[in-house]
Amino acid sequence: MGYLKNHKRVATYAYVSLFVSTAAMLMVPQLIQNIIDSITNGAIAQQLVKVPTQFLPMALQKMNWSASQYDTFRNGAEAALITSGVLILVFSVLRGLFAFWQSFNSERISQGMAFDMRNQLYSKIQRLSFSYHDRNQTGQLMVRATDDVEKVRIFIGQGLLMAVQSFFLLTVTLIILFFTNFNLTLVILPILPIAIGLFMVFGAVAQPLFAKVQTKLSTLNTILQENLAGIKVIKAFVREPEQKARFDLSADDFMNQQLQVQRLFSFLFPTIFLVANLGQAAIYYFGGSQIINGTLTLGEWQKFSLYLMYVFFPLGQLGFIISQMSQAAASATRIFEIIDAPNEVANKPDAMNLPPVQGKVVFDNVTFRYFGSDAPALDHVSFTAEAGQRVALLGATGSGKSSIINLIPRFYDVSEGKVTIDGYDVREVCLDSLRQQTGIVLQETTLFSGNIRDNIAFGRPDASMEEVMEAAKAASAHDFIMSFPDGYETKVGERGTTLSGGQKQRVAIARALLLNPRILILDDSTSSVDTVTEYGIQQALDRLMLNRTSFVIAQRISTVRNADQILVLDKGRIVAQGKHDDLMENSPVYAEIYNSQLVEDAAVTLQPAEILSSASNG
Amino acid sequence: MMGGPGRQLRQDTQKAKDISATLKRLVKYFSPYWLILLFVSIFIVGATWTQVRTPDLIGQAVDCFITPATVSKFADAPSGAAGAAIPGQPVKQTASQTNCWYTTTDAKWTSQDYINGLGGLILLVVGLFVAGAIMTGLQFYTMTWTGQHVLRNLRVEVFDHLHKLSLNFYAENEAGNVMSRITNDIETIQQAISFALVSVTSGTLLLVWIGYTMLSKSVAYALISMAVVPFMIIATNWFSSRARDAFRITRQEIGKVNANLQESISGVREVQAFNREEANIEEFERTNAANRDANIKAVSYTAALSPVLESLGYLAVAIVTITGGIFLLRGQDMFGTTITLGLIITFLSYTQRFNQPIQQISSLWANIQNAIAGAERIFNLLDTEPDIFNAPDAISMNQIQGKVEFDHVSAQYVPGELVLNDVSFTAAPGQTVAIVGPTGAGKTTIINLLPRFYDVVSGQVRIDDVDVRKMTTSSLRKQIGIVLQDTFLFSDTVMNNIRFGRPEASDEDVKRAAQLARADDFIQRLPNKYETILGEHGAGLSQGQRQLVAIARAALADPRILILDEATSSVDTRTERQIQSALEVLLKGRTSFVIAHRLSTIRNADMVMVIEGGKIVECGKHDELLANKGAYYNMYMRQFVNPSGPNEPNSSNIPALGGLNSATSAD
């Protein structure tokens, strides 16, 4: 609700317009009554002209008219008619203008609020720590920033306004009706609870039915989707008949569910209209009787039936709003869950900038648990990496390699102990200044939509073209980039050129190189690429590591052989530590891993012809 | 009054290329239901009739009972006093009564008589209301019933057709695109059939009928009453086309917002690693603001349309009552029509009924256009001829031996670009053939030709000396098992995923197959063991585990011929060993084709085929090929042997072919 405050001015416009336009709308039936009454009275007055003068007073008395009224009716009917007509025109224009102004402004408010909410969600999501993102899937977060915001927007922009309008319209209409003719109003009053009841029943019954339709539809679509994605498997195992039977069944199921909803609609909609129409019929009969008995005029009678529409209309709207409200409330809860989510990793109030570092990294008795997990991912780990050292991390999946590299740029916070860089605890310094000095190249590379240049300059948008090209050359990326018609301006990401795994990896290396970080974190595996590319990537990685403190999740033999320090991890503990030769002698665990898990570097003795042929194949 | 037309305008409009042909074809789908459609028409006509009738009857209430009763009141006075008729008075009473066809009233009627008469008339109106409600309900239901049946048939037909299409179609069309096309198109057709069609039909009928009734009552008065209608139509068209253009922009803008969100959420780790939060937030605010502004602009058109129509509606009401009133008061005939109070009330009521259908038709028209365009696309899909179908004289193969021959086979995906060029070889029953070669050499094509996923352009693929094109595809494929690199699992239980290989297999058979594939171990550790439901693409299982399930699936099928694409994706050492030993069991005794990445597979193969550029460049056993020092030797030296490395060829540490994955020392 606080969001409304930002749009106070526009909200005032919207609500004022709402009242004016509704009031103008309420005037119209009254004016129609005036016209019809003018016509009737004028017509009767013209009849009375023909009544012999001696009987006129008697006739007037019978009609309850005074002599002056009679005069007005007789001579001024046409003028009254035209006056009312002009008034209708004026009010309808008023109504039109303000109705437009109202919906326009309500859209401005609701869009403005959605804008605020999305921005807030977005900046929160961008800053939430890795551990939050581990727990939440992209799809879920997307839905909240799109669908949920939209639901809240529609409710606050339209629903709230509609509710106010409905109440206003309903109350004023009922008051007018009571003042026009009390007895006739009593006639239609019993219809109101029936209508409300119908709307509520409809809401209660329809909602779960709709949900069921959605479930059946998604089942149907899942089958379709699986059949498209797995067509080869289905053809290979000749399972078409079963899949067809499955789809037929599901299609029938969906159809029947749809028909169930339609049955409800086919019953409820006409019934609701019937109730409204019966109200009209009651007015026709009882109103007609009153006219005949002289307690109601024809104009009032018409007015009544027009106002009756203003009674049913808001009732329908309210029913609609109620169902919208519960959805909007659920959506709002989901949105605020994100906005209010605590961010574990954030700058301390007194955090200072990390000065340019040498790159000495110390893990001091570090224990680390992932959110919601009892077993520590790192269990009392201590080691020191001197500035400029190359540290190779070895171990099975889940042994704690990733945890170590994630703690250095403070993507997570340690549970116990501390991580220091040049003696600064990473939790004491500003995140920006810390992460500016650490570069990361992971195996799974995400590129962002934009051109290649933007992606290389991702961490330093102000970098010059020369710097970008230099980084790309060092990452062996320059050649393939230049082979694209648009060179560095080639669009990548969604709706852009698709880069191969190896090309992406080289862009990621260039990206990290451009940052010129003191500390480097990388994964030296190469995703499925041909031999020549692989060789190029490995060369680039080696260049990247030169003269920086580097932490490498090692997959290659050459990495460990060249490492200044090897950490062998098992179940969150360091089980062996040292240089390759020592470890080969002293650590059977290391020898086993070395022999069974590491791979050779791509050969460096390729013939030029072979390079050409395999490059064209890859 | 609010939000009405906006919803439909938000959709995109597409125009079909050949509307009449598409409609003709759509009609065919409806023709089996002609009897029901006849009823639908009757209901539509009936419901519309009640709507046209009611205002007329209300007019009668005024002309037959209310006016006479009011007039008789002051007529009573003199007649009571003088006992004589007033001269001139009957003239006007006749005007009302000439228009009163419902009943003849008697001048002697008391008020109560009039009220009773009115009651009778109103009962008739109530009857009409009830009849109208019933017919509307029935019309709605019968129409949607038909529509839903047509849609179901269309869906099933599309689905069946998707299975008939060859893999070539899926190579050209991405599964995701096909999926979204089908679902979107059917969705628009569904909207049109279940709602728009009935609304537009009955709306048009109502408009025409009301127009006709008004005209037949009084041409002049009718024309005056309908004077606003052209303006309504012009306004609707003008605003709708503006709104549609504006909403097209909003769709693009929200698309950008979504793309931005998607990218920065999925890439959030990189964003934080490179300190890009602030820059990204700024960029998002720009995208977001563009979306907001586009929406406000678009809505200003729809927000204007409703009030304009409403105002025009009020204007029409004013025109009807004022002109009618003036003619009545002046006692003039309107070009030959006597205006009565009842007639004014009737026309007033008709005018009010004009407004809604015009709005509805204009907004739903786009919907119907879209549906026709959607239907056209669906029909185009149905018209796509499958490349591969059974020959009329195709034979059903019984248990085969497993002899496979390629006889001068050439194949292509794109006309003119041969991917296999004159390939010939023979694999004896039970042999294991390892296929090696660089990416794009044609390895996958060879294994695609065996189960006849594609057809050769020349030459023959023969199994047990029969051309695969002479067999029914089902009898052929039933004898071939396939384990692909990217394992596709269904969102179903583990049990059913394995059983996919042989639906009639018992639970015990499934478990035996899983044990054979070394998958039983990890399945036992799943929360519901064999009954654990796997997510889309088998999420929840690791890559290696998915492969084991796929191996179990193939093992259960117990095929005579096995096709295997060895995975290059990284799995941990333990799983790798399990996969390896599972495959060894599986290959035994079957003719097998393996796209090989592991040295152990190649060494154990009865025949190694080296493919390059769509040709077999070398063929033989591992040792022979090494001794030949040809293409295989070069490839082997390049990929398995590192001259500067510590390991010699054939030592116990042999990395995988391609040098990427952790390999096992399985031998």
In 3-state terms, what secondary structure has residue A429? strand
**Higher confidence at residue A543 or residue A524?**
A543
How far apart, in whole angstroms, are the C-alpha atoms of residue B140 and residue B313? Answer: 27
For residue A277, list chain B residues with Cβ-Cβ distance below 8 A: 129, 132-133
Question: CB B159 to CB A81 under 8 A?
Answer: no
Chains A, B: CB contacts within 8 A come to 477
CA distances from B226 to A163, A596, B222, B524 (A): 34, 89, 6, 77
Select from A306, A290, A288 the least CA-distant residue to A33. A306
**Substitution target from B112, B122, B499 for chain A, most A beta carbons within 10 A:** B122
Structure confidence at residue B93 (pLDDT): 47
Structure confidence at residue B665 (pLDDT): 32
Identify any residues that bridge with B461 across adjacent strands, giving them in sequence order: B406
Question: CB B265 to CB A247 under 8 A?
Answer: no
**Higher confidence at residue A38 or residue A535?**
A38
User: Binning pLDDT at 50, 70 and 90, where does residue B87 land?
Assistant: very low
Structure confidence at residue B7 (pLDDT): 52
Interface check for A448 against chain B (CB to CB < 8 A): the answer is yes
Nearest to B259 among A35, A236, A449 (CB): A449
The stretch B154-159 carries a mean pLDDT of 87
The stretch B65-76 carries a mean pLDDT of 67
Identify any residues that bridge with A438 across adjacent strands, giving them in sequence order: A519
Q: Mean pLDDT highest for which of A199-203, A499-503, B305-309?
A: B305-309
The stretch B616-640 carries a mean pLDDT of 73
CA distances from B560 to A237, B450, B590 (A): 13, 12, 5
Asked whether the predicted pLDDT for residue A549 surpasses 60, the reply is: yes
The stretch B66-74 carries a mean pLDDT of 69
How far apart, in whole angstroms, are the C-alpha atoms of residue B261 and residue A338? Answer: 15
Question: CB A602 to CB B503 under 8 A?
Answer: no
DSSP letter, residue B64: I
For residue A221, list chain B residues with Cβ-Cβ distance below 8 A: 179, 183
% of chain A beyond a pLDDT of 70: 89
Question: CB B65 to CB A243 under 8 A?
Answer: no
Question: Which range has the worst mean pLDDT, B4-13, B326-335, B413-422?
Answer: B4-13
**Higher confidence at residue A170 or residue B66?**
A170
What count of Cα atoms within 13 Å lies in the side-chain half-sphere of residue A134? 13
Asked whether the predicted pLDDT for residue B74 surpasses 70, the reply is: no
Q: Mean pLDDT highest for which of A40-54, A277-291, A484-498, B31-45?
A: B31-45
| Residues A180-226 pLDDT 10s | 888 888 888 887 888 778 877 777 777 788 778 878 887 887 788 77
- The number of residues in chain A equals 618
What count of Cα atoms within 13 Å lies in the side-chain half-sphere of residue B363? 22
Q: Mean pLDDT highest for which of A365-369, A606-610, B510-514?
A: A365-369
User: Binning pLDDT at 50, 70 and 90, where does residue B77 land?
Assistant: very low
Structure confidence at residue B535 (pLDDT): 62
Closest residue of chain B to A447, computed from CA coordinates: B267
| Residues A320-355 pLDDT 10s | 777 677 778 888 888 888 888 887 778 888 888 888
List A residues 302-341 in contact with B (Cβ-Cβ < 8 A): 302, 313
Interface check for A444 against chain B (CB to CB < 8 A): the answer is no
DSSP E strands in B491-600: the ranges are 561-565, 591-595
For residue B320, list chain A residues with Cβ-Cβ distance below 8 A: none
**Higher confidence at residue A362 or residue A11?**
A362
User: Binning pLDDT at 50, 70 and 90, where does residue B130 land?
Assistant: very high
% of chain B beyond a pLDDT of 70: 81
Asked whether the predicted pLDDT for residue A356 surpasses 70, the reply is: yes
Question: Which range has the worst mean pLDDT, A73-82, A315-324, A394-403, B631-640?
Answer: B631-640
Structure confidence at residue B540 (pLDDT): 62
| Residues B163-219 pLDDT 10s | 888 777 777 776 667 777 787 788 888 878 777 777 888 888 888 888 888 888 888
Structure confidence at residue B485 (pLDDT): 67
How far apart, in whole angstroms, are the C-alpha atoms of residue B8 and residue A378? Answer: 57
Show the tokens assigned to A30: 């009254």
| Residues A12-70 pLDDT 10s | 888 888 888 888 888 888 888 888 888 877 777 777 777 677 777 777 776 667 777 77
Question: Could you report the predicted ipTM of this complex, rounded to two decimals?
Answer: 0.74
Question: CB B163 to CB A237 under 8 A?
Answer: no
For residue B478, list chain A residues with Cβ-Cβ distance below 8 A: 238
In 3-state terms, what secondary structure has residue B50? helix
Select from B151, B201, B198 the least CA-distant residue to B30. B151
For residue A288, list chain B residues with Cβ-Cβ distance below 8 A: 61, 65-66, 115, 118, 122
Structure confidence at residue A68 (pLDDT): 73
Asked whether the predicted pLDDT for residue B256 surpasses 60, the reply is: yes
Closest residue of chain A to B82, computed from CA coordinates: A55
Overall pTM surpassing 0.80 (yes/no): no
Interface check for A234 against chain B (CB to CB < 8 A): the answer is yes
For residue B557, list chain A residues with Cβ-Cβ distance below 8 A: 237
Question: CB B129 to CB A281 under 8 A?
Answer: yes
Q: What is the maximum span of chain B, computed from C-alpha positions, in angstroms?
A: 140
Give the mean pLDDT of chain A.
80
Structure confidence at residue A63 (pLDDT): 65
User: Binning pLDDT at 50, 70 and 90, where does residue A608 land?
Assistant: very low
Asked whether the predicted pLDDT for residue B642 surpasses 50, the reply is: no
| Residues A126-140 pLDDT 10s | 888 887 877 777 777
For residue A449, list chain B residues with Cβ-Cβ distance below 8 A: 259, 263
How far apart, in whole angstroms, are the C-alpha atoms of residue A339 and residue A125? Answer: 8
Question: CB A239 to CB B500 under 8 A?
Answer: yes
% of chain B beyond a pLDDT of 90: 0
Show the tokens assigned to B257: 């917002």
Show the tokens assigned to A466: 């020369």
Identify any residues that bridge with B417 across adjacent strands, giving them in sequence order: B414
Closest residue of chain A to B59, computed from CA coordinates: A284
Question: CB A118 to CB B638 under 8 A?
Answer: no
| Residues B535-592 pLDDT 10s | 654 556 666 777 788 888 888 888 888 888 765 444 555 666 677 777 777 788 888 8
| Residues A301-315 pLDDT 10s | 878 878 887 887 787
Interface check for A260 against chain B (CB to CB < 8 A): the answer is no
DSSP E strands in A466-515: the ranges are 491-492
Structure confidence at residue A2 (pLDDT): 61
Question: Which range has the worst mean pLDDT, A85-89, A384-388, A553-557?
Answer: A553-557
Question: Which range has the worst mean pLDDT, A282-296, A590-604, B354-368, B635-649?
Answer: B635-649
Q: Return the amino acid letter for B73.
A: K
Structure confidence at residue B572 (pLDDT): 56
Within 8 A by CB and 6+ apart from B334, the residues are B218, B220, B221, B323, B327
Q: What are phi and psi of A477, to 5 degrees?
A: -105, -20
Q: How does DSSP assign B297-343, residue by residue?
A: HHHHHHHHHHHHHHHHHHHHHHHHHHHHHHHHHHT-EETTEE--HHH
